[in-house]
Structure 1
Amino acid sequence: MNIKNIIFDFGGVLMDWDPRYFFKTYFNDDEKMEYFLENIAQSEWNEQQDKGRSLAEGTAIQIKKFPEWEKEIRAFYDNWTVMLKSEIPQNVEVLRKLKNTDYQLFGLTNWSEETFPYALENYDFFQIFDGKIVVSGTEKLIKPDPEIWHVLLNRYHIQAGESVFIDDNPKNIEMAKSLGFTTIHVLPDTDLEKELASVGVKI
């Protein structure tokens, strides 16, 4: 297998993002926090902002549905940077090592166009991608829609069969596999360097 390209998802792979990092202290009540995140500010709602809906519109829609939770809903994007806790150091270290190889490095992320610039400005490892990043909020497409992979392939003139795709979401991994990518499903205990070596990537 001749791998030429390595494509990274960001959240859960290179960045540790979780709304609980803010809301745990905010609510000081785990049961109430989990209810809010499962029923009011659920991931399906946040994904619409990742798909290109503005934060203001998303917030307004949810407040209209759940007026009694207005304060908490507004707090979600007002405190988004607290939810972006840190980079995931062991995986970022692998990315930094890859910088000194001949592999082309790309990002393919489900991320709001409004919040992604904060990450770009505050975490220097994003510069390693040299701008070769496809952001769902900008494209108005979101994984696992196959179209977003085609945007990446067409924009940078690369082939799925020569590419490794790394993600923490099993649905995205399944879609990428079906499109012909070699895949690595990242879990909290994944040794990314070892997994890359197992598919023929030499660091």
Structure 2
Amino acid sequence: MTIRAVVFDFGGVLFDWSPHHLYRQLIPDDDRRQWFLDTVCTQAWNTLQDAGRPLAEATRSLVAEHPEHTPLIEAYYGRWPEMLKGPLDGGVALLEELHEAQMPLFGLTNWSQETFPYAWDNYPFLRCFRDIVVSGQERQIKPDAEIYQTALNRIRVQLPDVAPHELVFIDDHAPNIVAARALGWHAIQHVSAEETRGQLLELGVGDKG
């Protein structure tokens, strides 16, 4: 078995992103903050922006539904960089090891096209990737099969004859792993850099030391 490329998810693998990083400052009470993020600025709402909805439209629509929470809603994207706490050192170290070993690397991330440039401009390790498929740019989103096909097509620009079983996909979210495997990709659910490194070694990727 030969693995010819590794595909990385970003949030939870390379980046520590969470609305709680911002909203701990805005709603100190844990229960109230969790209620707000479960009820108003929900993950499902954020996912629509990751799938391509404009941030201004999303904010305007939610404010109309919950006018009593206008400042808190407007902070979600107005202060979005404060949700991106920074890189996850273990995941970035793994990425850089593979890059140094000249393994072709690609990104496949659920991310708004309007906020992704902030990450690109501020985190140079993203230059390790030959190409990055950003859901908001494609108006497709994991775990839907079409975004994996888009990623495969983009990888084939670099590796024209690569087959799904020659790819490894690393993601922290179980449904995304299930979707990748259903399409014939190898997939690793990321829990820690050490566990992911071990599973890559089992696939013949990396230095056995």
State the match for 1:172 in structure 2: 176
- In structure 2, what residue type is equivalent to 1:152? A
Give the letter for the 2:148 counterpart: W
2: CA distance between counterparts of 1:160 and 1:189?
Answer: 23
Q: Percent identity?
A: 43
Q: Which amino acid aligns with 1:33?
A: R
Q: How many residues align?
A: 202
1:86 aligned onto 2:90: no
Gaps of 5+ in 2: 157-161
Deviation by residue 1:57-114 (Cα, 9 ceiling, x = unmatched): 0111111111111111001111110110010001100111111224210000000000
Deviating beyond 6 angstroms after TM superposition, the runs of 4 or more aligned structure 1 residues are: none
TM-score between both structures, scaled by the size of structure 2: 0.93
Report the Cα distance in structure 2 between the residues aligned to 1:70 and 1:159, rounded to whole angstroms. Answer: 48
Q: Which residue matches 1:151?
A: 150
**Alignment of 1:202 onto 2:201:** no
57-66 vs 186-195, greater mean Cα deviation: 186-195
> Which whole-Å deviations, capped at 9, do the CAs of 1:146-172 have from their partners, x for residues lacking one?
000100111221321100000011000
Residue of structure 2 in register with 1:101 after alignment: 101
Let me know the Cα RMSD of the aligned residues.
1.2
**Structure 1: gaps spanning 5 or more residues:** none
Amino acid of the structure 2 residue aligned with 1:117: P
Closer, same or farther: CA 83–159 of 1 in aligned 2, 3 Å: same
The answer to whether structure 1 residue 55 and structure 2 residue 41 are counterparts is no
Between stretches 24-33 and 104-113, larger displacement belongs to 24-33
Q: SS state of the match for residue 192, structure 1?
A: helix
- For 1:11, the equivalent position in structure 2 comes to 11
The answer as to 2:42 corresponding to 1:38 is no
Cα deviation, residue 189, structure 1: 7.0
Are 2:91 and 2:193, in contact at CA under 8 Å, matched by a contact in 1?
no
